[in-house]
A = this chain, B = another copy of it.
Amino acid sequence: MPAKATLPGAVASLGLREEAFDAPRRFDKGARIFRRGDPVRGVFLVLEGEVRLCRFGARGEEVILQRARAGEILAEAALDSPRYHCDAIVTEAGEFIRLSASVLRAMLDSDAQFARKWAGMLSGELRRARARLERMTLKSAADRVRHYLATEGRGPACETTISGSLKDLARELGVAHETLYRTIADMERRGELERAGRRLRFRRPAV
């Protein structure tokens, strides 16, 4: 579980002005912070917990567009839209701050320092989205696990502690959870992977 981000820290990192944000609000698991089609009133900074941007297909299948955890910002790309194009669903109860869309727009126009940091954050998000995209083009579940570790892991063994359940990871990787269980078990059996609870890493430094 990631540390709870402090408001001052988060504000300092972006150089936000005071009028830009509301007081933190608590949300329970399952709550919707906004829905598709709602007018854009803000962008959300996650202090604690987890929120996902989701769309739902014709048959109700969920698609995760973004996962934001403590310290991360949700729906940054919405700032240029009049309306949200997806739902924001709380998947882990916590606290969130709304950053006013109008104030952010004003700051982007006037505060070069802030605009620079904002652009930097967008670049990072873009890179991460492209990494996920690359991962999704891999056909085999094992390759996706390898790519996930190589991308998200730390150190030579690409160690990661998965947040949430394996089921969640399966959805993130775009495979059925049964397939993920089997794949991980296979990779462990072959000595390619080590798993201890929610900790995953390569046994032999791959790639």
Interface residues of A (CB under 8 A from B): 53, 55, 57-58, 63-66, 76-77, 79-80, 85, 108-113, 115-116, 118-120, 122-127, 129-130, 132-134, 136-138, 143, 174, 207
Contact = CB atoms under 8 A, between A and B. Distances in A.
Count of chain copies: 2
Contact of A123 (B65, B79, B113, B134): B79
A82 to B, nearest CB: 13
Nearest to A172: B137
Given A65-B134, A133-B132, A136-B137, A77 B116 contact: no
Identify the 4 closest CB pairs spanning chains A and B, nearest first: A115-B115, A122-B122, A136-B136, A129-B129
A6 B173 CA distance: 41
B119 A55 contact: no
Contact of A129 (B110, B115, B116, B133): B133
A113 B119 contact: no
Contacts of A133: 65, 129, 132-133, 136
17 contacts: A53-B130, A66-B130, A79-B119, A108-B119, A111-B112, A115-B118, A115-B119, A118-B119, A119-B122, A125-B126, A126-B129, A129-B129, A129-B130, A129-B133, A133-B136, A136-B137, A137-B174
